[in-house]
Structure 1
């Protein structure tokens, strides 16, 4: 690859970079221990997630130092050699852990999770896991996915993307000043400052508007690398803190960085402006360059230095063990689980560093750039070859399950799904049937989200409902507006199947957070709510507004819920217009133990053992019931809790149907079995002499 030379100005000669500066190794130790201990004991190191930001600053400093140092040599920066060194340093260990994680997924992870876990394994192998997780964070269908063994590769993906783009930016700056040697370092500084400012602004803005995605995407993290890179190109006289102030600067840096690890909480808007503390703290420690003085004995301790040396392996190994090692059994079901995982992580890291990291980085196996690139291609292909068959197998099983579920749900099969509890019956012909199959549960959404506004769309300043029509188009059909959030969307697969037969003309208007609430001044979805209310009160004449929404997870059942006030306020103009408001009481929320049971179930027998008590299932507040009581005439409540619970027992398998797709949403298959009972309950509540209620389309 073409080499571009960058000569450093004579007035700013650059000393060799010390890769093993003791304070940098100590920073690595603090960072990796923060992350590992946070994952093992979240209550002890609550801000341990900020350890990743420490690594980003260190990487920015060291890589920029190397690039500028090489640029000053006669041959300039050789991109091919630079990237080959990154391959030797990072890929062997990363891909070994990924192959082991994929094997562990096949061996010990329930088949229902294979597709998600193996997809993320492939994304991690190609260093795009951060974008995969960013997509999942904003995709409502994936937002509640459990963590995979490859999830922690998001930070490595960000780093690899930095290693690809950063030298190109620096070379661009040097190329533009190739005839003005004295301007080269100022140009590089200008580029770094521009990246820092632009990325920090993006981080603050995206964190405020789309916090889940902001955590993972590259452009909200680039400023952290730039902060470290800026230290590497400071003028010679400012490259380190003044000697007399260096110890105080170091203490301030350590206090800021460790304070972030110990005091931050997951509820903070991160990264955004909050990340300034760990980033600035790390930068101050590096800038101080003060291995002596207060804390020097701890920083230089051989154990601290060794942990910093093997920090990469520690980071890679700990998370797959946390995810895959079970929480049950005579030993692992006790307090010993986390200490054993920590010991296993340390042991694997020591072996990996000795037999994988060090040999590949310094040995001859990948000593040339062509060999390194060939290794990268082959190793990534190997990970894909291990993971893709599981993904393909999973997709095949999902399609088979979908076809079988559709056939049974549309065939009026007795005691299938909701009918089993509502009619207290069982169908022996369904023995050994479980639909959707466990592996297909998360994909069992039908057409629920075809008309769904995402979080980003429902937040927009000009947001308005997306209207999808279901059922009859006859002028005398019962006109129904289905309104709400994703729990209303979960009703669409069933209603779209029975609406035409029931003589219903349904306009579905569903969105993330799209409950029919009054538009408060501080409501980020006020534009959507106003447009929705305008359609229901001014633009269209509906007979019924069928509303539902997720239970309030932060309030216990029976507590006064302020959401009920906003519901009543929004319903008043609709009721005044003459539209009946029918609220459907929300389905249960699964407990963590019930969810774990469901995730681990791979057969009808195992899934049938997963259940909750009625008290657990309905432990959270449902403001709809209170709102109906206070709204008065014209509002009614449909409560189908008996479709989910028999007496005090609430099974997760109902009539041979897996009722729950995740912690709060029902499957499309269960929705199809519930819909006839929902239609009947609504019509029973609306009996007021209207001839069109319950009319058959074909009569």
Structure 2
């Protein structure tokens, strides 16, 4: 990812994404949200050890890798800044703010806390994350990455070719220095996003052939998945060194799936069930913890888990309505804003 690779910004896609939408990415997104749902709503114990935190780390790594990958692909196409910002914010804000309004109606918060959530900086010190919307930390990281992307798009998009790799290595180094294996503060977690961004850059660079050779080998998909799972383990007793490699393992796994679209796992992940779950994944993420904080998630241990099927039914129902009745309308609005701006630029 040197400056010699920069001309690929304006050229045709060099990697698998050139063929258009990749169904396997929908599958990866579906797996990420299913992992998060299981983490928060069901116990996962192996030989007496809880693995819920590890499964959550796995799911969020995939989520951030996809986000960084797709956002960087958009940056490489150099859309108008206003169009980019409108589409990104209209994708995130409506569902998030509706959820916050509902939660705060029943559980009011201070003005400072409300502002930190509304403007997506609640995860920054001093953190103002509160139950049952403390999972919004990831939306804060996401929106902050959008802001960085918009600034780079406005100033000089070619800077991403050196800035994103430098930030990735810098954040990894910062995590190692501070022995930070988990967390929700942006500068201890954004390396997952940046690893996805660097994967997108590699697929557009002169190094794509080397990447295809390395990740297109038989066995690359299960190997990278096994490494990712190993890097996602969370230890509460000591620092787990492999966790520092989690962003790189997640990027390698997604890259291997893209390089091997006919692998049985890639084919399965590209199926219609995964595509639907991916389509409602954002709403699932936003609503699952607030709904779990209601009667649907109350009671003693047995009562709580007996209610889980009903909770999941309600979560998926609200996610479906949110996605196709609310989010879709705002997404269409964002597209119209972009189309209108494009016509005005042509007229000028």
Class of the TM-score when normalised by the shorter of the 2 chains:
0.7 to 0.9
Do 2:196 and 2:251's aligned partners in 1 also have CA atoms closer than 8 Å?
yes
Q: Which residue of structure 2 lines up, in the alignment, with residue 216 of structure 1?
A: 184
Q: TM-score, normalised by structure 2?
A: 0.79
Task: Give RMSD over aligned pairs.
Answer: 3.5
- 1:361-384 deviation digits (Å, cap 9, x = unpaired): 1x2487327x9xxxxxxxxxxxxx
Structure ranking higher on relative contact order (CA contacts 8 Å, 6+ apart): 2
Equivalences for residues 463-502 of structure 1 within 5 A? none
CA distance in structure 2 between the aligned counterparts of 1:341 and 1:27, rounded to whole angstroms: 24
In structure 2, relative to structure 1, the CA distance for the partners of 1:18 and 1:329 (3 Å cut) is same
Structure 2 residue 60 is the aligned partner of structure 1 residue 58: no
1:356, distance to aligned residue in structure 2 (A): 1.2
Decide whether aligned partners of structure 1 residues 149 and 126 sit closer, same or farther in structure 2, where only a CA change above 3 A counts: same
| Larger-gyration structure (1/2) | 1
Partner of 2:163: 191
User: In structure 2, do the counterparts of structure 1 residues 269 and 368 end up closer, same or farther at CA, with 3 Å as the change threshold?
Assistant: farther
Aligned equivalent of 1:149, options 132, 138, 146: 132
Aligned length: 322
Cα distance in 2, alignment partners of residues 268 and 21 from structure 1: 39
User: How big is the shift at 1:256?
Assistant: 3.1
Distance across 2 between alignment mates of 1:366 and 1:229: 23
Q: For 2:139 and 2:56, how far apart are their aligned partners in 1?
A: 14
Change (3 A) 1:103 1:128: same
Greater share of residues in strand: 1
Between structures 1 and 2, the one with greater helix share: 2
Is the contact between residue 61 and residue 230 of structure 1 (CA under 8 Å) also seen in structure 2?
Answer: yes
CA drift of 1:194 comes to 1.2
Correspondence for 1:276 among 245, 251, 257: 245
Unaligned runs of 5+ in 1: 1-6, 71-76, 106-113, 138-144, 175-183, 372-699
1:348 matched residue in structure 2: 318
Unaligned runs of 5+ in 2: 46-50, 341-348
Q: Given that residues 291 and 297 in structure 2 are in contact (C-alpha distance below 8 angstroms), is that contact kept between their aligned partners in structure 1?
A: no
The CA deviation string for residues 317-351 of structure 1, in whole angstroms up to 9 with x for no partner, is 11112233365569983431333222221111112
2:32 aligns to what? 31
The 1:169/1:360 distance shift into structure 2, 3 A limit, reads closer
Inter-CA distance 226–334: structure 2 relative to 1 (3 Å threshold): closer
Q: How does 1:126-275 map to 2 (within 5 A)?
A: 126-131=119-124, 134-136=125-127, 147-169=130-152, 172-174=155-157, 184=158, 188-208=160-180, 215-234=183-202, 235-238=205-208, 240-242=211-213, 245-259=216-230, 263-265=233-235, 269=239, 274-275=243-244
Check whether the contact 2:10–2:77 (CA below 8 A) recurs between aligned residues.
Answer: no
2:296 touches 2:304 (CA, 8 Å); kept in 1?
Answer: no
Structure 2 Cα separation of the partners of residues 340 and 332 of structure 1: 14
Which residue of 2 is the match for residue 416 of structure 1? none
| TM-aligned CA deviation for residue 200 of structure 1 | 1.2
